[in-house]
Structure 1
Amino acid sequence: MADYRNHPRIVPARPDIAAAHLEGQVDAERFVDPVDMQTTAGVTSIRRAPQDDAEMDQQLLFGEVFAALEERDGWAWGYSRHDGYVGYVDMAALSQPVDAVTHRVSALRTYLFSEPDLKSAPHCLLSMNAKIASGEKQGRFIRAGHHGWVFEGHLVPLDHAAPDFVAIAERFEGAPYLWGGKESLGLDCSGLVQTSLEAAGIRVFRDSAVQEGEFAERWTNMGVEAPRQRGDIVFWKGHVGIMVSETDLIHANATFMETKIEPVAETERRAVASGLPATSVVRLTDYEPA
């Protein structure tokens, strides 16, 4: 298996420009230090090209940091500090300076209100794992820096780890499929895995091909023929899902265009019919939450 660290989606380099830390490793006309900018929209896209209708490969959630290497025509090119994903971000969704975040959203989604009052106008929706710099408390609301107020019951400290990442994944059942998404309003297979694990304190890369290499290095490859159990991660070429029992799998998939729990035998039947049988099954043994 090729080294997942060299996957182009997590290597911030183009022929004309690359991140300074890659000097001596890649060829580029110039190497620059990134300028960190913080996501101040509820969610924004990391796109393959600097245009609104370009394909979305990943998302940035509120509070996440984007390391900008180039700014041009209202777009920043660089990479996510959260998982290294490279692409273009609309600068209208980014701001400086970067606030040190302290809490993250534990609900599937919650509102960022303009005032500490449930009747006040909401600014936007925040999705699970969105991050805030907490300030004063008024009643049941916490100030999110200078951006607004969030219901305290939907926040946990940044280092909080949910005890069961599979239970987190199950909360997304029925969420629509969206290529490049990682929130309950739309997500894809690797987005579901990344989001669920982050809620449990486990930070991983995005993209199933990158995840398969990373997981095989960090945890135990059980082999595709071995009996499976709840929490096993199953990989196919271009796809990934989470076992919720010995027989059933949850995955965000394009077959149903939603996040669905189904017998893994059915998933594998379709995959084999397409010439894409399972490639690995990884068990997260002895992991240390990030």
Structure 2
Amino acid sequence: MSAEIPSLDPRLTPARPDLADLRLKGQVEAARYVTGSDRRVVVPSAPLRRAPSPEAGIDTEAVLGDPVTIYEDRDGFAFVQLAADGYVGYLPSAALGDPEPAPTHRIQALRTFLYPAPDLKRPALAHLSLGAAVTVAAREGDYLRLATGGYVFAGHCGALNAYEPDFAATAERLVGTPYLWGGRTSLGLDCSGLVQLCLATAGLPSPRDADQQERALGEPLPDSLEGLTRGDLVFWRGHVGLMLDSDRLIHANGHHMMVAVELLREAVARIAEKSYGAVTSVRRMAGAHHLTPSAAS
């Protein structure tokens, strides 16, 4: 990407020295400009890497049903931009398929299985995570037959617009999920992936990384850790957690190597000493002060 345009975040800019989105012409320098085409993720989850190599670091994950824009497909990797949060990187080519048919339902259980028949005794074909989007063709008893093949238990699915308003309750369901750098599924999460996933289940879009979330989400609170409430987001330089009440923080972190709940004052002291330094801000999502544990369903 052109070094002369420092305002463009490379994480969100589909551009390389040899290729860029046609819409960026005049903003970035590239050997050629292309128009992206629509695709959809057709596997349970796929790593979005910063380079087209299985050895490259993972920045985030795409999950079943996620729409993406593809700009190049070569040597087993596709250069893409995720529609949900704008993240740019490389997905395995085999993870992508046609954008239609569009999803009709979303997985609401933390995780469920895809079966070859409407029968729990059959060997599972795949694991699907909370938030994965599926296209239902028909209902057969207690199972939903997917247009892409396979069956999922109907009780683990809900309509696309069926949301859980108490996103802190979703975070509590994820306690014990292993920490995974770049993870955003119920098999593994990093700190900002936990926040993004929980907000998504409440119908609230969110950027991917903690620094982006700190700039974009909610309204800043006074420079104090007093008077916090359920749903408030606490930020460090490179880390984020979610308040469950005035005292307890839930966050995916490398200290516990999982999603864990701890007293905010203890987390603040440890993080200041060992990792990310002092708290940089606290932000409140609109309506978060109305969240109560009893509101969870």
Query: TM-score normalized by structure 2?
Result: 0.90
Secondary structure of the structure 2 residue equivalent to 1:195: helix
Give the match for residue 285 of structure 2: 284
1:109-155 deviations in Å (ceiling 9; x for gaps)? 00011112212232100000000111110001111212211111111
Give the match for residue 131 of structure 1: 133
Match of 2:159 among 150, 157, 160: 157
2: CA distance, partners of 1:84 / 1:20? 16
Per the TM alignment, residue 233 of structure 1 is displaced from its structure 2 partner at its CA by 0.4
Contact 2:67 2:99 survives alignment (8 Å): no
Contact 1:7 1:210 survives alignment (8 Å): no
Give the match for residue 85 of structure 1: 87
Alignment of 1:1-290 (within 5 A): 6-215=8-217, 219-225=218-224, 226-274=226-274, 276-286=277-287
Q: Which amino acid aligns with 1:258?
A: M
2: CA distance, partners of 1:264 / 1:21? 44
Secondary structure of the structure 1 residue equivalent to 2:251: strand
Kindly tell me the number of residue pairs found equivalent between the two proteins. 281
Moved over 4 A (4+): none
Q: Which range is displaced more, 91-100 or 185-194?
A: 91-100
2: CA distance, partners of 1:166 / 1:6? 32
Per the TM alignment, residue 286 of structure 1 is displaced from its structure 2 partner at its CA by 4.7
In structure 1, the gaps of 5 or more residues are none
2: CA distance, partners of 1:123 / 1:18? 37
Secondary structure of the structure 2 residue equivalent to 1:259: strand
1:57-95 deviations in Å (ceiling 9; x for gaps)? 110111112211111101101111121111111111212
2: CA distance, partners of 1:75 / 1:234? 36
Identity across matched positions, percent: 42
2: CA distance, partners of 1:99 / 1:23? 32
Q: Which amino acid aligns with 1:223?
A: P
Query: TM-score normalized by structure 1?
Result: 0.92
2: CA distance, partners of 1:264 / 1:245? 10
2: CA distance, partners of 1:223 / 1:41? 43
Q: Which amino acid aligns with 2:36?
A: P
1: CA distance, partners of 2:35 / 2:101? 19
